[in-house]
Amino acid sequence: MDAAHVIVVGGGGTGAALAHDLALRGLAVTLLERGELTSGTTGRHHGLLHSGARYAVNDPESAVECIAENRILRRIAPGSFEENGGLFIVLTDEDMDYLPRFLAGCAACGIPTRELTADQALALEPGLTTALKAAVWVPDATMDAMRLPLRFFATARGNGAQLRPFSEVTGLLTAGRAVTGVMLRDRLTGAEGELAADLVVNATGPWCERLAASAGATVPVQPSPGVLLALVGRLCDLVVNRLHPAGDGDIVVPQRRLSIVGTSTWTVTDPDDLEVPDGHIQAMYREGAKLVPAVASAAERAAWSAARPLIGATGGTGGGGGRELSRTFKCFDHAVTDAVEGFVTITGGKATTLRAMAEATADLVCAKLGVEAPCRTRDVVLAPHTAYYTGRAA
Amino acid sequence: MNAPRTVLLKVFRSGPDDKAPRYDQFRLTAGPRTTVLDALLAVRRRQDPSLAVRHSCLHGSCGTCGMRVNGREVLACVTRLKELGDPVVVEPLAGAPVAGDLVVDMEHVYQRLEPVGRPLVRASERAGKNDGKAGPGPVLEGLERFEDCIECGLCLSARPVAGDPRFLGPVALAAAERVLEEPRGADPRAVLGLVDDAHGAWRCHTAFECSAVCPARVDPGAAIMRLRGRLLRDRLPRLVGRYHREGRS
Amino acid sequence: MTQARRHDRRPQPRRPRWLDPRGRHLGTWAFVANRLTGLGLVAYLYLHLVILSTLLRGPEAWDGLVELFRRPVFLTFDLLLVAGLAFHGLNGLRVALVGSGLLVDWHRALLVAAGILVGLVTLVAAVRILA
Amino acid sequence: MATQIIKEDFSEASRWRRRPRPTFAWLAQVVSGVLLLVLLTVHMVAQHFVVEGGLRTYADVVAWIRNPIVFATEALLLICVTWHGIAGVHAVLLDLGLRGRAERIVARALLDLAVATILYGLWLLYAIAFRS
């Protein structure tokens, strides 16, 4: 009997890791992405490989996921990270009051930390503001937002997955309340077609509500954009975070010869209609310069918005920030939630946890399809990203 | 001058049924911050959903939105319309097969890079291991380092030799120069052999157009020149005698 | 790759890139000028050989040609030749240096210097030839 | 089927075969170019700039060429200029996209042309100097 055929809709980090996981488990996988791979939210993130420390106090579930995945990704994707480490810096007395809770949170989540005095921190990272009172070193790192997922794609393709960028899903094929495949349009050729599948996974991030709705299913996800600012020059060598309960403009991520300042947050209904609202860029400059003074005079390379898929209560989260929503991911079996068979949605999460999101989804997919195959993605070393283009395995 | 203005975009189109390329015209309103990519995505959303464009990071870091704007190779996401005249002519990169409209196949970039071999990023931007315990090593000097290459292919489009696909091209030659500078386990002899070719380092015309368009300031042109210096220093002694002692290579 | 296999017969951009002058920098113009002067000088090499061949036809033929070549139109051509030679030679010297890995970071300054020298040589030649 | 443009094989093994010592080809162009710079300056000054009216009369030309140093210099100039020029034309033709058989034919034809040019030029020098 032929392997079960799974269609993954969405060519972001989650889809990449999922295609890789399912291909390793021996399933026939087709991944469909309406544009270039990673052209949605994945490619736009600031490139931080989270240590998890940012979430240790308020969202320990996310923090534990982050540090576990941080370690796994360094192992399976060697050469993809600037292993520069990160600092959480204390600027005010309120920040100082938060420090013990922060350290306790990190310890509880198993995130290694090292307390530094202001002088020690400045010796480690001369780009810091001299106004800092103390700092904590954590194992943050910097990744390439596009090329790490490309390594998953490359490996997936090497294991037989069909990857189809520029293939837009225009609707779902259904039989009764069961999803049996997708209708699609090739954006390069204009050709329309249908593709049958034993199961369709909705990995479209902030767009997932729209696709789920076409199957009569609901997903409690809020597209929550943030503005990011790229500055010319590597203004600091370590990732610099503000040690405080999360706020706007509280991180500077060095990314090759750029420095990325992030981020603000608000909520929208259409993740395709993103703008850079007035004032956000100035806010990034202002808040970023509190961490790394060179930010204030650095030239702007670009400012852009990216929509996170934040999981929250359905509806009702207009205006206000999306930070209260959980940063962890969730996998929805719509047979359970909406009585729609053959359809699974994976959403939420972060770039750092792409592999864990895929593992959880693949476990669910395999259980539904009656496939008994363990997850192997914790140990399989990924092909280089160049293999995605040349088709040669590592 | 920061008021929104109307801009005419002339966009290269190449569909599967087209016998010849055509240029479609779109009018849209551009603000002071509107980039060429913003404009193209706005066209796709509001005027012509069939327009094919590559993009990902939106800040000049991924290298997917390379195209020719008014003839010049740029990253569309960091090129503002207010810096350009009117109309704005948008075409795909040269020297690569067009997959549709502004989308070119990037395989040729990686076919060139692969035999040279390069790590994408350093383990650390500083010399020495940075684990938070030891003090920092010095930040590695030099603004123009190949590690900053984003594989956008602008150099391959801009080079005067774009007509000949056999030319190894700036991206791979600059990568080779970097590998020779700091081998990190690679075999320098093999890389030297690869670039010492009539279609390798010696095919370059020293126009430095690749460096002029490089959005990552890698300066591949200078790297190719340093590579040639390296080849001469390696090959010249053979010309004056060592060649005979060592026998034919 | 699947994407790569789909565009066999797509119309491609019309002009070869290197024949497209839009948006080029100084370095490319120097390259183009080097090419054009080079091709011109090769053409002149053969013209020169043909002209010199009239020496085989004796003094009358040659001295007649010499008279002809002293007309202003030919003198202007001579000046053009000197300018072309000077540019190809001096820019060539720059390319030889930079292209061998020497003075790489000075390539733009060297080009400017070559340009100035070409101007001077042409000026001196103009005075000498046309005066 | 990929288009031809992306079917190049950049692995070293395939490049090794078609390598006529390219470093030395570059050196030859540089050396001949530098020699030309010197020889042509001498040629232009000695043949034209110092001569009244810019061109010698028939008798003067013949007498001048009979000087062995002048004869040798002019012969060397001829060889350098032909080599340098034909190699340059070859590079231009390569950039126009000549490939495979056409490229080999053109390379051969250019080599023949260079040899013919040098032989004719040397004969012309000899004929002017000693047969008139």
Secondary structure in 3-state letters for chain A: CCCCEEEEECCCHHHHHHHHHHHHCCCEEEEECCCCCCCCCHHHCCCEECCCHHHCCCCHHHHHHHHHHHHHHHHHCCCCEECCCEEEEECCHHHHHHHHHHHHHHHHHCCCCEEEEHHHHHHHCCCCCCCCCEEEEECCEEECCCHHHHHHHHHHHHCCCEEECCEEEEEEEEECCEEEEEEEEECCCCCEEEEECCEEEECCHHHHHHHHHCCCCCCCEEEEEEEEEEEECCCCCCEEEECCCCCCCCEEEEECCEEEEECCCCCCCCCCCCCCCCCHHHHHHHHHHHHCHHHHHCCEEEEEEEEEEEECCCCCCCCCCCCCCECCEEEEEHHHHCCCECEEEEEECCHHHHHHHHHHHHHHHHHHHCCCCCCCCCCCCCCCCHHHHHCCCC
Please report the pLDDT score of residue A320 as a whole number. 38
Q: Are B28 and B41 in contact (CB under 8 A)?
A: no
Instruction: Assess B111–A contact: CB distance below 8 Å, yes or no.
Output: yes
Instruction: Assess C11–B contact: CB distance below 8 Å, yes or no.
Output: yes
Each residue of C70-96: pLDDT tens digit?
888 888 898 999 999 999 999 999 999
Amino acid at B244: H
Residue in chain B closest to C14 (alpha carbons) equals B21
Q: Are B93 and B103 in contact (CB under 8 A)?
A: no
Confidence of residue B123 (pLDDT cuts 50, 70, 90): low
Please report the pLDDT score of residue A165 as a whole number. 96
> Does the domain at residues A1-47+144-219+324-394 carry the CATH identifier 3.50.50.60?
yes
Q: Is C59 helix (H, G, I), strand (E, B) or coil?
A: helix
Q: Are B93 and B67 in contact (CB under 8 A)?
A: yes
Please report the pLDDT score of residue B117 as a whole number. 76
| Contact flag B59-A35 (C-beta cutoff 8 Å) | no
| Element spanning D111, H or E | helix D100-130
Count of C-beta atoms within a 10 Å radius of residue A342: 24
- B157 and B223 belong to one structural domain: yes
Interface with chain C: mutation pick from A187, A188, A385, highest number of C CBs within 10 Å: A188
Instruction: Assess B133–A contact: CB distance below 8 Å, yes or no.
Output: yes
Least confident of A275-279, A302-306, A343-347: A275-279
The alpha carbons of chain A give a radius of gyration, in whole angstroms, of 21
Please report the pLDDT score of residue A344 as a whole number. 96
Confidence of residue C24 (pLDDT cuts 50, 70, 90): confident
- B133 and B174 belong to one structural domain: yes
Instruction: Assess C105–D contact: CB distance below 8 Å, yes or no.
Output: no
Provide the CATH number for the domain around residue B227.
Answer: 1.10.1060.10
Q: Are strands A251-255 and A239-242 parallel, antiparallel or unpaired?
A: antiparallel
**Domain tally, chain B:** 2
Instruction: Assess C40–D contact: CB distance below 8 Å, yes or no.
Output: no
Taking the CA of residue A282 and the nearest CA in chain B, the distance in Å comes to 14
Domains of chain C, earliest start first:
26-130 (1.20.1300.10)
Whole-number average pLDDT of chain B = 83
Confidence of residue D8 (pLDDT cuts 50, 70, 90): low
Instruction: Assess A240–B contact: CB distance below 8 Å, yes or no.
Output: no
> The tokens of B61 are what?
């870091």
Which of C52, C69, C85 is opposite residue D40, by nearest beta carbon?
C85
CA–CA separation, A313 and A330 (whole Å): 13
Instruction: Assess A391–C contact: CB distance below 8 Å, yes or no.
Output: yes
Interface of A with B in 335-374 (CB under 8 A): none
Instruction: Assess A233–C contact: CB distance below 8 Å, yes or no.
Output: no
Tell me what the mean pLDDT of segment B132-151 comes to.
Answer: 61
| Contact flag D3-C8 (C-beta cutoff 8 Å) | yes
> The tokens of D59 are what?
């008798």
Residues A85-140+221-311: name the CATH superfamily.
D-Amino Acid Oxidase, subunit A, domain 2 (3.30.9.10)
Choosing from B83, B104, B125, the residue where a domain stops is: B104
Please report the pLDDT score of residue A315 as a whole number. 39
> The tokens of B121 are what?
């990023």
Choosing from B104, B129, B159, the residue where a domain stops is: B104
Each residue of A154-177: pLDDT tens digit?
999 999 999 999 999 999 999 999
Which of C4, C49, C66 is opposite residue D6, by nearest beta carbon?
C4
Please report the pLDDT score of residue D61 as a whole number. 87
Taking the CA of residue B48 and the nearest CA in chain D, the distance in Å comes to 28
User: Which chain B positions have a beta carbon within 8 Å of D16's beta carbon?
Assistant: 193
What Å distances lie between residue D15 and A320, B69, D22, D68, CA to CA? 61, 35, 12, 46
Instruction: Assess C2–D contact: CB distance below 8 Å, yes or no.
Output: no
Please report the pLDDT score of residue A183 as a whole number. 97
| Element spanning B45, H or E | helix B36-46
- Output A126-131 pairs: Cβ under 8 A, ≥24 positions apart: A126/B136, A127/A235, A127/A236, A127/A237, A127/A240, A127/A292, A127/A294, A128/A87, A128/A89, A128/A236, A128/A240, A128/A291, A128/A292, A129/A89, A129/A91, A129/A290, A129/A291, A129/A292, A129/A293, A131/A91, A131/A290
Name which residue leads in pLDDT, A119 or D22: A119
Taking the CA of residue C2 and the nearest CA in chain A, the distance in Å comes to 7
Name which residue leads in pLDDT, B140 or B222: B222
| Contact flag C1-A166 (C-beta cutoff 8 Å) | no
Whole-number average pLDDT of chain A = 91
Interface of A with B in 31-70 (CB under 8 A): 35-39, 42-44, 47
- B75 and B176 belong to one structural domain: no
Each residue of D60-115: pLDDT tens digit?
888 888 999 999 999 999 999 999 999 999 988 888 777 778 888 999 999 999 99
Instruction: Assess C25–B contact: CB distance below 8 Å, yes or no.
Output: yes
Tell me what the mean pLDDT of segment B71-81 comes to.
Answer: 95
User: Which chain B positions have a beta carbon within 8 Å of D11's beta carbon?
Assistant: 115
Q: Which sequence spans correspond to the domains of chain A?
A: 1-47+144-219+324-394, 85-140+221-311
Interface of B with D in 172-211 (CB under 8 A): 172, 190, 193-194, 196-200, 202
Q: Domain containing B226: what range?
A: 107-246
Confidence of residue C10 (pLDDT cuts 50, 70, 90): low
Name which residue leads in pLDDT, A388 or A392: A388
Confidence of residue D6 (pLDDT cuts 50, 70, 90): very low
State yes or no: pLDDT of A245 exceeds 50: yes
Tell me what the mean pLDDT of segment A221-227 comes to.
Answer: 91
Instruction: Assess A237–B contact: CB distance below 8 Å, yes or no.
Output: yes
Provide the CATH number for the domain around residue B89.
Answer: 3.10.20.30
Confidence of residue C21 (pLDDT cuts 50, 70, 90): confident
Count of C-beta atoms within a 10 Å radius of residue A299: 7
State yes or no: pLDDT of B139 exceeds 60: no
| Contact flag C2-A162 (C-beta cutoff 8 Å) | yes
- B140 and B84 belong to one structural domain: no
- B149 and B80 belong to one structural domain: no
Interface with chain A: mutation pick from C2, C5, C7, highest number of A CBs within 10 Å: C2
CA–CA separation, B15 and B35 (whole Å): 24
- B63 and B139 belong to one structural domain: no
Which of C2, C6, C7 is opposite residue A163, by nearest beta carbon?
C2
Which of C35, C59, C70 is opposite residue D58, by nearest beta carbon?
C59
Instruction: Assess A190–C contact: CB distance below 8 Å, yes or no.
Output: no
State yes or no: pLDDT of A85 exceeds 80: yes
DSSP single-letter state for residue C106: G
Please report the pLDDT score of residue D17 as a whole number. 47
Taking the CA of residue C99 and the nearest CA in chain A, the distance in Å comes to 28
Backbone angles phi, psi at B162, to 5 degrees: -55, -15
Which of B59, B121, B217 is opposite residue A302, by nearest beta carbon?
B59
Name which residue leads in pLDDT, B47 or A317: B47
Show which subunits contact B, needing at least 3 CB pairs below 8 angstroms. Answer: A, C, D
Each residue of A173-192: pLDDT tens digit?
999 999 999 999 999 888 99
Show which subunits contact A, needing at least 3 CB pairs below 8 angstroms. Answer: B, C
| Contact flag D88-C56 (C-beta cutoff 8 Å) | no
Which of D10, D12, D22 is opposite residue B202, by nearest beta carbon?
D22
Please report the pLDDT score of residue C22 as a whole number. 82
Please report the pLDDT score of residue B125 as a whole number. 55
CA–CA separation, B49 and A120 (whole Å): 55
- CB under 8 Å to A261, separation ≥6 — which residues? A228, A229, A230, A231, A249, A251, A252, A253, A284, A285, A287, A288, A295
| Contact flag B53-A260 (C-beta cutoff 8 Å) | no
User: Which chain A positions have a beta carbon within 8 Å of B58's beta carbon?
Assistant: 43-44, 302, 304, 306
State yes or no: pLDDT of C15 exceeds 80: no
User: Which chain B positions have a beta carbon within 8 Å of A257's beta carbon?
Assistant: 143, 148, 216-217
- B64 and B139 belong to one structural domain: no
Which of B16, B110, B132 is opposite residue A386, by nearest beta carbon?
B110
State yes or no: pLDDT of B131 exceeds 60: no
Choosing from B89, B104, B119, the residue where a domain stops is: B104
Tell me what the mean pLDDT of segment A251-262 comes to.
Answer: 91
Interface with chain B: mutation pick from D1, D3, D4, D6, highest number of B CBs within 10 Å: D6
Residue in chain A closest to C4 (alpha carbons) equals A389
Each residue of A23-51: pLDDT tens digit?
999 999 999 999 999 999 999 999 999 99
Interface of A with B in 151-190 (CB under 8 A): 166, 187-190
User: Which chain C positions have a beta carbon within 8 Å of D81's beta carbon?
Assistant: 45
- B79 and B171 belong to one structural domain: no
Confidence of residue B183 (pLDDT cuts 50, 70, 90): confident
State yes or no: pLDDT of C1 exceeds 70: no
